[in-house]
Amino acid sequence: MEEIAGPTQNQAETRNNEAKANLSSNPSKTESVDKPPDEPEARYNRLKLFEKVMQKSLEKLIEHASFNRFANTFHPLHKKNPQKMESIHKQFIEQLRKSIQEDISRLIEEGRLEFKMNELDKLESAAQNNTAPAWRPSGVPEKDFCSFLMPFYKKQEVYMRLELKKIQAENAALAQKVLAGRESISQTEQLISTAVDDWKTTVTEFERLTSSLGPADVFDV
């Protein structure tokens, strides 16, 4: 046994030495293996991650709705017809899975999750490029609360001032229209009054003329 072990040990040492020599002669290979890639890994897709989490949650829910629990809940029916109960459970699981998947798809579509998650990626990227220190609470709730609300109130104040100017301009324009309408009404009333006076004068002249003429003067030929 010792005679056999001797040459095998020498062969192993020889192979190790050759391997070390090859590694020392080709250092670039070892560096390429040990060196991490320069390019960053592809970013994960938040929407796919969300869908994956939803699918795992769905599978967990399906596991809890196992046939054993279903059969125990409806034990008399299962005892009477096990095959029928198994078919009902299968249909129930299929319908449950389909309904939940439709709800998840509707949630993604109506909630615009893809757009919002892309916006979240943009915010994260902008935060990484921002070297300014992040906000931290000062320990005084009143101060932190005011520092949070004051920018909002200032924006609201600017907005309200702009709206006030707009409303004031609209009111001034409406006031001009009202004044113009009143002047038009006044002129119309004056014209009507003048026309009525002229009509009254004409009627008076006509009555005076008819009263001055006698019947003989009218029918005398």
Question: Three-state SS across the chain?
Answer: CHHHHHHHHHHHHHHHHHHHHHHHHCHHHHHHHHCCCCCCCCCCCHHHHHHHHHHHHHHHHHHHCCHHHHHHHCHHHHHHCHHHHHHHHHHHHHHHHHHHHHHHHHHHHHCCHHHHHHHHHHHHHHHHHCCCCCCCCCCCHHHHHHHHHHHHHHHHHHHHHHHHHHHHHHHHHHHHHHHHHHHHHHHHHHHHHHHHHHHHHHHHHHHHHHHHCCHHHHHCC
**Domain end call among 129, 164, 183:** 129
Whether 142 is covered by a domain: the verdict is no
Q: Which residue has the tokens 């056999």?
A: 4
Whether 103 is covered by a domain: the verdict is yes
User: What angle separates helix 113-129 from helix 82-110, to the nearest 10 degrees?
Assistant: 50
Please report, in tens digits, the pLDDT of each residue of the chain (221 residues total). 333 334 444 444 555 555 444 444 444 443 443 443 443 333 457 888 888 899 999 999 888 888 888 888 888 888 888 888 888 889 989 998 999 999 989 988 898 888 888 888 888 887 777 777 777 788 888 888 888 888 889 999 999 999 999 999 999 999 999 999 999 999 999 999 999 988 988 888 888 888 776 555 555 54
Question: Into how many domains does the chain fold?
Answer: 2
Q: Are residues 85 and 124 in the same domain?
A: yes
Whether 184 is covered by a domain: the verdict is yes
Compute the distance between CA of residue 101 and CA of residue 89 in angstroms, rounded to an integer.
18
What's this model's pTM, rounded to 2 decimal places?
Answer: 0.39
Whether 148 is covered by a domain: the verdict is no
Compute the distance between CA of residue 23 and CA of residue 29 in angstroms, rounded to an integer.
8
Residue ranges making up the domain that contains 58: 46-129
Q: Are residues 123 and 165 in the same domain?
A: no
Whether 56 is covered by a domain: the verdict is yes
- How long is the chain? 221
Q: Which residue has the tokens 């949070």?
A: 148
Whether 25 is covered by a domain: the verdict is no
